[in-house]
Amino acid sequence: MEKIAIVTDSTADMSNRMAAEHDITVAPLSVNFGDQSFLDGIEISAEEFYKKLQDSDALPTTSQVSVGAFVEIYKDLAEQVDTIISIHISEKLSGTYQAAVLAAQEFSDVEIVPVNSKSVTTSLAFQVRLAAEEIRRGSGKEEILKRLERAQEQQKIYFSVRTLEYLEKGGRIGKAQALLGTLLNIKPVLTVDDEGYVAPFEKIRGYKRVIKRLAELYGEFIEKHGPNCFQAIMHAAAEDEARNLKAIIEEKYGPQNLEINQLGPVVGTHTGPGAMGLILTPR
C-alpha cells in the first residue's frame, strides 16, 4: 500500500500533541524581534510571544520556512514513505508554499505534492486533519487531494482585529487595504477569500456588534453545512472575548463543539493582539 506522510507549517497553529497524534511533521516559520530570531512554536510559545510583544517597542517580523529546511524535512521522510503531501499557508500570505514547491523539485525518488491551502491557522490545521483522516481510512493521494480541494471551497474564516495597523505594517492587509484611512473607528469583519487573500467581509462599527455578527455568521454556516463541522474560535491574547463569543453562540444555538485556541506567534505578528476569529470547515 502507498505510504503517505503529511507535512505542514507552524502557521497551522497545531498543538504538539495534535501533530504527534496524527503523525504530522511541522515546518516552523520564524518570528524576529530585532536581531533575535525564534522558531515558531519551538523556541517561542504563543504565551511568551504575546508577553514579549507587549514589552517590545519595535514590531516583530516573520520569516518563511526556507527551501533548505524543507529539503531536510523531505529527505528524512523520503526514506520512510512513497508520497509526501505538504499542506501550507496561503501563498498570498507567505512564501512558505513557494519554498515547499522549490524543495520538492530536488527529489525524484519520492513524490512530493505541495498544497496551497488558501488559508491559515486552524483552518489550515483542519485541512491537515482531514488529510490524516483520509490516510487512516486508507485513501490514496488523489482522494486526499480531492478532499482538500472541497474543504478549500467550503472553508470560512471570519475574523476581526483591534487595529488594521499590524496587517498593514506586516504587508498582509491584502484587499482590506480599502479600509485603511477611514476616519471612523471601523471594526471590520475580515475574511481570507477564495484566492487566499485577507479581504474585507463587512464594515462594522462598534466591537460589540462585531461579536454579534460573528455569532450570526456561525449560525449561517451551521445551517448550511450541518453541525458536524470542524469549528474553532482563535484569538490573539483575547481569551475573554473568545469565551464571550462562544457563550453568545451557545446561548443562541445550544452547546457546540467549539475549541478555543490561541493564534501562534507568526500569525499573531500579523493580526496584532486582540484579534479574534471564527474558523469553520465542513467535514
Partner 1 sequence: MKQADHTPDKKVEKLDAPLMKKMIMAATLWLNKNQAEVDALNVFPVPDGDTGTNMYLTLLDAAREVENIEENEISRILEAFAKGSLMGARGNSGVILSQVFRGFANGARNKNTINTREFASALTEASKKAYKAVMRPVEGTILTVVREAAMAAEKEAKKTDDIRQLLEVTLLQAEQTLDRTPEMLKVLKDANVVDAGGRGFCLILEGYLRALRGDTALEQEIKMVGTAEKVKQLEPEKLEFAYCTEFLIKGNEIDLEIVRKNLDQYGDSLLVVGSTEVTKVHIHTNNPGKVLDHGVQHGRLSKIKIENMEEQTEERYSAVNHAVEEEQIPMEKDFGVVAVVAGDGLGEIFSSLGADELVTGGQSMNPSTQDLAEGCEKIPSERIIILPNNKNVIFAAEQVKEICDKEVHVLPSCSIPEGIAALMRINPEESLESVLQEMNNGLQEIKTGEVTFAVRDSNVNGMEIKEGDVIGLYGGELISVNNEVGKVALELLQEMVTEDDFLITIYRGEKISEEEGETIKEELAREFPDCDLELYPGNQPLYYLIISVE
183 lies in the site for partner 1, by CB under 8 A: yes
User: CB 158 → partner 1: shortest distance, Å?
Assistant: 15
CA-wise closest residue to 31 among 251, 202, 271: 271
Tell me whether residue 63 or residue 177 sits nearer to partner 1 (CB atom).
Answer: 177
User: CB 192 → partner 1: shortest distance, Å?
Assistant: 15
- Residues 186-215 interacting with partner 1 (rule: CB under 8 A): 186, 200, 202-209, 212
Strand, helix or coil at 129? helix
CA-wise closest residue to 92 among 185, 11, 201: 11
Interface with partner 1 (CB under 8 A), residue total 17
**Contacts with partner 1, 67-106, as mask; x by CB under 8 A:** ----------------------------------------
User: CB 209 → partner 1: shortest distance, Å?
Assistant: 5
150 lies in the site for partner 1, by CB under 8 A: no
219 lies in the site for partner 1, by CB under 8 A: no
Rounded CA separation 47/63 (Å):
19
162 lies in the site for partner 1, by CB under 8 A: no
Alpha helices in the chain (DSSP H): 16-22, 46-55, 67-78, 96-104, 121-136, 141-154, 165-169, 207-225, 239-253, 265-271
Tell me whether residue 125 or residue 210 sits nearer to partner 1 (CB atom).
Answer: 210
CA-wise closest residue to 201 among 210, 191, 211: 191
User: CB 252 → partner 1: shortest distance, Å?
Assistant: 14
What is the DSSP secondary-structure string of 54-119? HH-SSPPEEEPPPHHHHHHHHHHHHTT-SEEEEEES-TTT-SHHHHHHHHHTT-SSSEEEEEE-S-
User: CB 212 → partner 1: shortest distance, Å?
Assistant: 7
Residues that bind partner 1 in the complex, under the rule CB under 8 A: 178, 181-186, 200, 202-209, 212
